[in-house]
Structure 1
Amino acid sequence: MPMRILLLSALLLATPAAAQDAPSPERLRADVEKLVSFGTRHTLSSPDDPVRGIGAARKWAAEELDRIGAACGDCIQVARIGRTFTGPRAPNGVEVVNVLGFQQGEDPKRVIIVQGHIDSRVSDVMDFTSDAPGANDDASGVALVIEAARILSKQKLKATIVYAILSGEEQGLWGGTLLAETAKERGWIVTAVLNNDIVGNTIGQNGVRVADRVRVFSEGIRASEALDAQLGRRGDGGEDDGPSRALAKAIDKVADGMRETDSSALDVFVVRRPDRFGRGGDHEPFLRLGYPAVRFSVGAENYDQQHQDLRTENGREYGDTVDKMDFPYLAKVTALNIATIRRLANAPAAPATVTLDGAVSSDIKVKWNAVPGARGYRVYWRRNDTQNWTDVRGVAGRTETVLKDVVVDDHFVGVSAIAADGSESIVTFGTRPPRP
């Protein structure tokens, strides 16, 4: 159903400036090939060898971010964070090191993280000596992060961008855990975490080709919520509208806008679960701490090319190699990440709370807290038998409105904040006021 727009001023209809640079399939290929050239990037491989192993790969990635930063007048500062982790997949312990590039915005505390993991593996997760190219899983995500830095470094943004290259994913999501806990310790206000993991192929299992969409995974019920909060969300009907799901819907909206001017841009398949069935990724530690986080992954995975020893059996090739990738597709996933970052980085923060009053009434009174830097707000609503917003009203100069003849029993409501250039936050779902 097309969204009906009511009472929107010219300010609220403004559209952020379009992207200047398009991601380069050639640069993305070169970066993936460079990462593959280190032989293996297994978390337990050598941290010190200058040409082979995860240490050499991390050094190259840090130097690449340094070069990008130098080209923009040191607008990106590179740092490393590390911690020793021990577990079944590293029984003797291993130092997990993340490479981070910080592009400071006008607000140094409000942060958007775009990330991929640099470590790779083969069939045996403990085999750290065999060649493990990890071209798609996840050199594709690392190349995307670096390409995003190349393009976004040419712009001034309001939020701070963290370009994160993580280690230890295959051994236990340790790089994601380290960065999520670092964000909490440093008091970052995390607007979004965009985790890119397996984002560079279009030929899936059994030859199925899916080149027109990317999957975006998001949680519904929040991993960080205590039982009483979960019961409150259940009572309000907000299972499909937590911050992670709202972020996924925002990405879908960005993709819709891109396709209006470029029919070849990707569609977003919003997958309503945190990750693939029974599997996980580096966004999940952020979810456990309450941060909005999603995972980007290809439309069709090829399991012969994931976590496999390099080999051919009965004419069937196994292994995660560069020749199985589609770099124009990876460029499109990169473009979607960049467009999402631009929108969210220049938008105000989302309203912290939105409350509804309308029990035994034919109208809904909607209230929300004022957001610093917001020039206006959008109030969304939809019937509660649908998943996507269908109606919207622009509001400026106040933090409440009444939806006449909209029955709260039958509708969901949410509010976003709008910047002067039209950039929009994610939508905060409306709930009952807290009990006194």
Structure 2
Amino acid sequence: MSHTSQATSGTTRRAVLTAAAGAVAAGAAATGQATAAVPGPGPGRGHGGRPATAQSPSRELRALLKEIDPGRIEATVRKLASFGTRHTLSVQDDPVRGIGAARDWIYAEMQKYAEASGGRMTVELQSYIQEPASRIPVATRITNVVATLRGSVTPERVYIVSGHYDSRVTDVMDATSDSPGADDDASGVAVSMELARVMATRRPAATIVFAAVAGEEQGLYGATHMAARYKAAGTDVQGMFTDDIVGSPKADDGALDPYTIRLFAEGVPSSETPEQAATRRSVGGENDSPSRQLARFVRDTADNDATGMHVRVIYRRDRYLRGGDHIPFLERGYPAARFTEPAEDFAHQHQDVRVEDGKQFGDLPEFCDFDYIARVARVNGAALWTLAQAPGTPKNAKIVTSNLTNATELVWDRGTEPDLAGYEVVWRETTAPEWTHVIEVGDVTRHEVDLSKDNVFFGVRAVSRNGAKSPVAFPVPQR
């Protein structure tokens, strides 16, 4: 275990206070000194209005994002809508109608994508029998379609993107009426499938999973089964995104916000014990859960010109009194978050297909904006690809509290990635939503900053040799 002294780190209390005032020279980051936020369009924003932790898209990532095709996304949404209904309780053995037909088509398409991967991508039908339960009146087979692109360097580290391919109308138990489910959630499935197509030809360092799950409208059954399988296998899922209702930027009052996507991220983790939650509250970490760090990472990597989108992070687990397929992952201790459009149009969501006074109702493809969905796919793609190419989130990050002084000593475990170059320590004011200061500390597992742990929040992130940076790990007290 090595130690970097405050004399070489350039992080004396005077330097920190000066940096916070915006007087750090432009070259400070290169010399290991604090990188400060300068005045921008919002609180906690860094140079050019971006967080201090923001990462610029690589040439490789820009090329990947350009391959995302709105035309293919439209074809996927229209095909899924064509199966009439995809209700979880609908027929499973009809080749043209019902959830079984949709399942088989998604599986066949994913298999086509896998053919271009040189054996790196595999596709499975992940099925189980759900016994009678809430909104499941009879034993029902629920099947997820899961495409796994195995990582070439650290395959044990996994990131997931999913959408749910089941649909519904107003009556959640109506398994026969037409339920096109274009926005909810053929749009999210199209994101997952398009990313699978584009990334199948590439070699991510970590493993990426592209999923289309069933049973969401009946109670998150498919996602629960998938999360439980990963947990039972001890899989190191370091990030999961669900895209649910990402088809339109139009609100129910007609207002348009075509360049914004919401990202919901919970605070105190659902999986924490009362003692862990109490510790988090005692150090002010309610806004620094792994899921909130994942959301900040999305802002760092996907809120830029390469995606053309603004990521609006919402500090909630999900929309008010509702939920999605990221929740079973949160309940098992995995960092997870939900993408959804900026404002929903409830005149179409879950409505029966009909025409009244010359107006169409129902979740039809005509109400989707396929260029918008493509931009949402680019946001997902930018975050996922950077996650997979960067080192994993540092583990066991802690603040040493054996001696309570005005300095802060952080420790963490060294990662096992062969291209790991070192680490950065980040911090921000307790009232700031995003990280405002960054210092390079080298390939060490301990660093002391001459700044009080009582006054700011700290974090640690890993850096690869090519400059890709992990999500931030929020340290807990080491007594």
Give me the TM-score of the superposition, normalised by structure 2.
0.86
Q: Give the corresponding residue for 1:52.
A: 97
- 3-state SS in 2 of match to 1:205: coil
Q: Give the corresponding residue for 1:202.
A: 249
1:365 to 385, 409, 417: 409
Letter in 1 for 2:353: L
Q: Give the corresponding residue for 2:88.
A: 43
Q: In structure 1, what is the Cα distance between the partners aligned to 2:266 and 2:426?
A: 21
Q: Give the corresponding residue for 1:320.
A: 363
2:182 to 135, 138, 141: 135
1:191 to 238, 246, 258: 238
Q: In structure 1, what is the Cα distance between the partners aligned to 2:345 and 2:82?
A: 22
C-alpha displacement at 1:215, in angstroms?
Answer: 0.3
Q: In structure 2, what is the Cα distance between the partners aligned to 1:278 and 1:289?
A: 20
Deviations 1:97-146 (A, max 9, x none): 00111111123321111100000000111111111000010000111111
Q: Give the corresponding residue for 1:298.
A: 341
How does 1:206-355 map onto structure 2 within 5 Å? 206-256=253-303, 258-259=304-305, 262=306, 265-355=308-398
C-alpha displacement at 1:372, in angstroms?
Answer: 1.3
| 4+ residue segments displaced more than 6 Å | 1-5, 12-15
- 3-state SS in 2 of match to 1:47: coil
- Asked whether 1:28 is paired with 2:73, we answer yes
How does 1:89-128 map onto structure 2 within 5 Å? 89-106=135-152, 107-128=154-175
C-alpha displacement at 1:317, in angstroms?
Answer: 3.4
Q: Give the corresponding residue for 1:386.
A: 432
Q: Give the corresponding residue for 2:446.
A: 400
- 3-state SS in 1 of match to 2:62: coil
Gaps of 5+ in 1: none
When residues 191 and 3 of structure 1 are mapped into structure 2, their CA distance, relative to the original with a 3 A threshold, is farther
Q: Percent identity among equivalent residues?
A: 40
Letter in 1 for 2:87: H
Give the stretch that moved more between structures: 69-78 or 199-208.
69-78
Q: In structure 1, what is the Cα distance between the partners aligned to 2:431 and 2:179?
A: 47
Deviations 1:66-108 (A, max 9, x none): 0011123233211111122232311112111001111111233
Deviations 1:125-179 (A, max 9, x none): 1111111000010000111111001111121111111111100000010011011
Q: Is the 8 A contact 1:15 1:421 kept in 2?
A: no
- 3-state SS in 2 of match to 1:380: strand
Q: Give the corresponding residue for 2:108.
A: 63
When residues 225 and 128 of structure 1 are mapped into structure 2, their CA distance, relative to the original with a 3 A threshold, is same
When residues 271 and 211 of structure 1 are mapped into structure 2, their CA distance, relative to the original with a 3 A threshold, is same
C-alpha displacement at 1:424, in angstroms?
Answer: 1.6
Q: Give the corresponding residue for 1:147.
A: 194
Q: Give the corresponding residue for 2:36.
A: none
- 3-state SS in 2 of match to 1:88: coil
C-alpha displacement at 1:389, in angstroms?
Answer: 0.7
Larger Rg: 2
Q: Is the 8 A contact 2:61 2:385 kept in 1?
A: no
Q: In structure 1, what is the Cα distance between the partners aligned to 2:352 and 2:461?
A: 47
Gaps of 5+ in 2: 1-19, 33-52
Query: Would you say how many aligned residue pairs link Structure 1 and Structure 2?
Result: 428
Q: In structure 2, what is the Cα distance between the partners aligned to 1:89 and 1:3?
A: 60
Q: Is the 8 A contact 1:14 1:422 kept in 2?
A: no
Q: Is the 8 A contact 1:6 1:392 kept in 2?
A: no
Q: In structure 1, what is the Cα distance between the partners aligned to 2:241 and 2:469?
A: 17
Letter in 1 for 2:136: A
Letter in 2 for 1:291: Y
Give the stretch that moved more between structures: 54-63 or 345-354.
345-354
